[in-house]
Amino acid sequence: MSNRIYVLKFPKDTIDQPIICKLVKKYGVEFNILKADINLQQEGVMVLEMVGHKTKVDEGIKYLKDVGVLVERVAAGIRRDDEKCFQCGACTGICPTGALHIRRSDMAVLFDPDKCTGCGLCVGVCPVKAMAVSLQGSTGL
């Protein structure tokens, strides 16, 4: 599963088209609108989190580009405040990539940022708010 955040810029001639509806129906991509500013006869901007199988998300992004939407991926990462973390392990049970895991020898909660996709699931379950989403700028796609 792919879970990424994108900034979509819609040219004014595409504003009245059901582009996101087609993205969902044709490619089976789930989405969460994080921010949107769309006005008729003007360029529209939407920050969208897309969730789905990587191939379907990639096909959906190609569709968006083909209809004239500028697509930029926002790189997100998770950072852990080691001062706040008290090693409860709540985050390890929800982490889909294994970036947060328990080292059994000493029961330490370890965080491997290279495995992290930035999904943010750990942020919501951390009782002391030691985990936080960190937006790292955008990269063109």
What is the domain partition of the chain in residue ranges?
Answer: 2-68, 77-135
Q: What is the pTM of this model?
A: 0.57
Domain 77-135 fold is Alpha-Beta Plaits (3.30.70)
Q: Tell me what the mean pLDDT of segment 44-65 comes to.
A: 91
Check for a shared fold between 2-68 and 77-135.
yes
Query: What one-character-per-residue DSSP string does 108-127 give?
Result: EEEE-TTT-----HHHHH-T
CATH number of 2-68: 3.30.70.260
For residue 89, give the 3-state DSSP assignment. Answer: coil
Query: What one-character-per-residue DSSP string does 69-83 give?
Result: -EEEEEEEEEEE-TT
Indicate whether 18 pLDDT > 80: yes
Higher pLDDT, 98 or 41: 98
Largest Cα–Cα distance in the chain?
62
Strands 131-140 and 70-80: antiparallel
